[in-house]
Amino acid sequence: MADLAVQNLGKSYPTRAEPLVVLREVSFSLERGESVSIVGRSGSGKSTLLQILGTLDTPTTGLVRLAGQDPFALAEPDLAAFRNRHIGFVFQEHHLLPQLSVLENVLIPALATGRPTPEQRQRAEELLGRVGLSQRTAHRPAELSGGERQRVAVARALLLKPALLLADEPTGNLDRANAVAIGRLLRELQQAEQAMLVVVTHSDELAAEMQRRFRIDDGRLSESP
């Protein structure tokens, strides 16, 4: 069984007329250490797929297996614990908390299970070093540039060593130089951590950095050779 297996995933929304079908029979699998990009025009279902992989939304049909489990068989709060433990997210917006320091922001995933442990603090500091922000750990997000804030978001996503790292247009708000840097960083850290990385992007440059390339057309996923 693959580390991430997606089988015949479908998602539709009820409307007054025909249901709106957003994802159609999406199937693929990933192993740890693999990276993939997903491209497709606006409205094609990219974010919906990422939200389902992230267990933030539920599929209408089909199966997802991650870390040997069917997450959708779990009830809250077990599902929230599963998500926190196994999945890291980087969004287009950084979603950092303005009142917390950079270091505290990276430690947010550790707060779900109580106070951060000394090992978790050490890991947060180490990750901030790897994203080039060792000198900025006590700063607030408002004191950082957009590119730096996104680096903090990357460190936060990796704190608990997730098996699966999901990024939805992570460079969408950045200039080209920062976009390239964040793309490299995501790939480097994903490789070092042997996580699976799924990146939704409009950037051909970022897409080309991933080992495998997928596209979505009208809810159907296909792999580019």
Binding site for Mg ion (CB under 5 A): 47
State the minimum distance, in angstroms, from the CB of residue 114 to Mg ion.
34
State the minimum distance, in angstroms, from the CB of residue 14 to ligand ADP.
9
- 22's contact among Mg ion, ligand ADP, none, with CB below 5 to 8 A by partner kind, is ligand ADP
Cβ atoms of residues 132 and 164 within 8 Å: no
Distance between CA atoms of residues 208 and 192, nearest Å: 19
What's the start-to-end Cα distance of the chain, in Å?
Answer: 23
Instruction: Quickly list DSSP for 151-162.
Output: HHHHHHHHTT--
State the minimum distance, in angstroms, from the CB of residue 32 to Mg ion.
26
Which element (helix H / strand E) includes 191?
A: helix 176-193
- 45's contact among ligand ADP, Mg ion, none, with CB below 5 to 8 A by partner kind, is ligand ADP
Residues 3-62 interacting with ligand ADP (rule: CB under 6 A) = 13, 20, 22, 40, 42-48
> Between 176-193 and 118-130, two packed helices, what is the crossing angle to 10 degrees?
130
In degrees, rounded to 5, the angle at the alpha carbon of residue 178 between the alpha carbons of residues 175 and 179 is 75
State the minimum distance, in angstroms, from the CB of residue 43 to Mg ion.
8
Of the pair 140, 215, the CB lying nearest ligand ADP is at 215
Assess 120 for contact with ligand ADP (CB under 6 A).
no
Cβ atoms of residues 28 and 223 within 8 Å: yes
- 208's contact among Mg ion, ligand ADP, none, with CB below 5 to 8 A by partner kind, is none
Footprint of ligand ADP (CB under 6 A): 13, 20, 22, 40, 42-48
